[in-house]
């Protein structure tokens, strides 16, 4: 019975830690996602369509 008690006690310690880490990670990536949309990319690519002429034209 001590093994079961130790297991339950371990779960009660780790689940709140996992929840706190999940919240911190979610806030971190959510904040960075908002910043990335307002910045220009380093590659210079855009959503504009580029049309190339084919060799047959």
Nearest-5° Cα angle at 53, 50 to 57: 160
Report pLDDT for 1.
83
Q: Which residues does the chain have with pLDDT short of 70?
A: 33-57
Q: Which of 4, 25, 1, 24 is nearest to 12 (CA)?
A: 4
Tokens of 5: 């008690």
From its phi and psi, is residue 51 left (phi > 0), alpha (psi between -120 and 50) or beta? Answer: beta
Q: Provide the residue ranges of all domains of the chain, joining segments of one domain with +.
A: 1-33
Report pLDDT for 45.
60
Report pLDDT for 15.
92
pTM, whole model, 2 decimals?
Answer: 0.45
Report pLDDT for 34.
56
Burial of 33 (0-12, 13-18, 19+ CB in 10 A): exposed
């Amino acid at each position: 019975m001590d093994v079961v008690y130790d297991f339950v006690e371990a779960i009660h310690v780790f689940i709140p830690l996992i929840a706190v880490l999940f919240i911190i990670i979610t806030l971190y990536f959510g904040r960075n996602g908002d910043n990335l949309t307002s910045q220009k990319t380093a590659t210079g690519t855009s959503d504009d369509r580029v049309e190339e002429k084919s060799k047959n034209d």
